[in-house]
């Protein structure tokens, strides 16, 4: 009966006043949304951050406007009681949707920090790719193999994230085993001059060649260079460095380290050659026949 009495007590004047309050509240929320967008743009925040945080501010303002309109339409309703009821509902919703709310709060933190944006190439746990969208509860990543991965924002917030495109340039290192019989200083000079002449390798900082480890028959020369930060740019630069430096070493007759597995590979191919010889009807050499004995010298 009390609810029916409250409804009957509502007049057209109160309803119009409440509607006026609600519309004014929405207009104020829209203005605040616009101002928040301008503020975040002036702070050089990403588009996703401006869009999501602006909408969040607008919806908070819209809820406040709705509560204010209800208090005008129904004067007997105490705003404190309304807020208390919303508090109980919020607690119940928090318990029921703990994971969802956790992802949403993590999304707010991620968008507020703006440490990575749409278009950045990142690595999250075992997933590496390009960020395609940042939502309030999840982040979508298009992996380098073309698959789409949806990562909850709690994972994005709590995991270690490598942002490959966080800066415009990235460094790469290619180790090369140089023979100890080579002129090491000349090998370094040839490698550095070759890298400086490549378009995909940046000259600031200058590419370097540094000797790092010494083996029994070789010395490791690390080719250190900078390139564009995207995965494709880094891989193309690495490919260009390896190809050009190897060609330069061959042209300048700089000996590389002999692989310790070369003799092993040649020996492992001998049984296959013997099998092909037998298949063609040819007799294998006496030393390859099982149980054959070497002839004694007279």
Query: Could you tell me if residue 174 is left (phi over 0), alpha (psi between -120 and 50 degrees) or otherwise beta?
Result: beta
Residues 6+ apart with CB under 8 A from 248: 190, 191, 193, 194, 254
pLDDT, residue 89, reads: 58
- The pLDDT value recorded for residue 1 is 44
Domain final position from 80, 107, 134: 107
127 and 49 belong to one structural domain: no
Q: Please give the full DSSP string across 81-107, using - where no structure is assigned.
A: HHHHHHHHHHHHHHHHTHHHHHHHHHH
DSSP three-state, residue 208: strand
101/17 same-domain check: yes
DSSP 8-state class, residue 194: H
Residue 243 · residue 200 · CB < 8 Å = no
User: Which pLDDT score, from 0 to 100, does residue 31 have?
Assistant: 85
pLDDT at position 108 is 84
Q: Identify whether residues 182 and 238 lie together within a single domain.
A: yes
Confirm whether 93 is domain-assigned. Answer: yes
pLDDT, position 201: 95
Instruction: Tell me if 262 is assigned to some domain.
Output: no
What's the domain count of the chain? Answer: 3
Which carries the bigger pLDDT value, residue 53 or residue 235? 235
Average pLDDT along the chain: 78
287 pLDDT band, cuts 50/70/90, is: very low
On whether residue 173 sits in a domain, the answer given is yes
For residue 137, give both structure tokens: 């509860």
CATH of residue 124's domain is: 2.30.30.60
The answer as to whether 48 is a domain residue is yes
Sheet containing 169-179: order of strands: 169-179, 218-228, 208-214
Q: How many helices (H) and strands (E) does the chain have?
A: 9, 8
Q: Would the pLDDT of 296 be above 50?
A: no
Domain-located, residue 296 = no
- pLDDT at 200 (0 to 100): 95
Whether 97 is covered by a domain: the verdict is yes
Q: What is the pLDDT of residues 115-142, one digit of tens each?
A: 888 899 999 988 999 999 988 889 999 9
Q: Give the domain CATH number at 233.
A: 3.30.70.100
**Same-domain check for residues 211 and 139:** no
Which one of 6-10, 98-102, 117-121, 292-296 scores highest in mean pLDDT?
117-121
* Domain boundaries, position 71: 12-107
Of 8-22, 86-100, 196-210, the range with the lowest mean pLDDT is 86-100
Nearest partner of 105 among 49, 46, 174, 154, judged by Cα: 154
Output the CA angle 35-108-167, nearest 5 degrees.
Answer: 85
Same domain flag for 102 and 31: yes
What pLDDT score was predicted for residue 231?
92
Task: Note whether 102 and 33 are same-domain residues.
Answer: yes
**Distance from CA of residue 237 to its chain's centroid?**
20
Cα–Cα distance between 281 and 285 in angstroms, integer? Answer: 13
Query: Quick check: is 40 in a domain?
Result: yes
How far is the C-alpha of 128 from the C-alpha of 142, rounded, in Å? Answer: 8
Are 83 and 48 members of one domain? yes
What pLDDT was estimated at residue 130? 94
């Amino acid at each position: 009966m009390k609810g029916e009495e409250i409804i009957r007590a509502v007049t057209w004047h109160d309803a119009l006043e409440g509607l006026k309050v609600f519309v004014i509240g929405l207009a104020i929320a829209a203005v605040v949304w616009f101002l928040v967008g301008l503020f975040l743009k002036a702070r050089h925040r990403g588009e996703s951050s401006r869009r999501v945080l602006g909408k969040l501010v607008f919806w908070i303002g819209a809820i406040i406007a709705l509560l204010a309109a209800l208090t005008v339409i129904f004067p007997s309703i105490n705003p404190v009681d309304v807020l208390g009821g919303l508090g109980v509902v919020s607690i119940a919703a928090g318990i029921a949707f703990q994971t969802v709310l956790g992802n949403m709060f993590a999304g707010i933190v991620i968008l507020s920090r703006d440490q990575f944006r749409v278009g950045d190439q990142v690595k999250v746990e075992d997933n590496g790719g390009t960020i395609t969208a940042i939502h309030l509860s999840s982040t979508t990543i298009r992996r380098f193999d073309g698959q789409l991965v949806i990562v909850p924002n709690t994972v994005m917030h709590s995991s270690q994230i490598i942002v490959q495109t966080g800066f415009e340039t990235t460094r790469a290192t290619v180790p090369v085993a140089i023979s100890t019989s080579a002129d090491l200083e000349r090998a370094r000079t040839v490698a550095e001059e070759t890298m400086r002449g490549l378009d995909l390798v940046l000259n600031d900082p200058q590419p370097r060649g540094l000797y790092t480890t010494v083996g029994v028959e070789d010395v490791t020369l690390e080719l250190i260079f900078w390139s564009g930060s995207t995965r494709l740019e880094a891989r193309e630069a690495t490919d260009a460095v390896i190809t050009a430096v190897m060609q330069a070493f061959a042209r300048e007759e700089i000996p590389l380290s002999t692989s310790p597995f070369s003799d092993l590979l040649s020996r492992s191919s001998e049984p296959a050659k013997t099998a092909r010889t037998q298949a063609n009807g040819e007799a294998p050499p006496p030393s390859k026949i099982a149980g054959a004995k070497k002839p004694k010298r007279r």
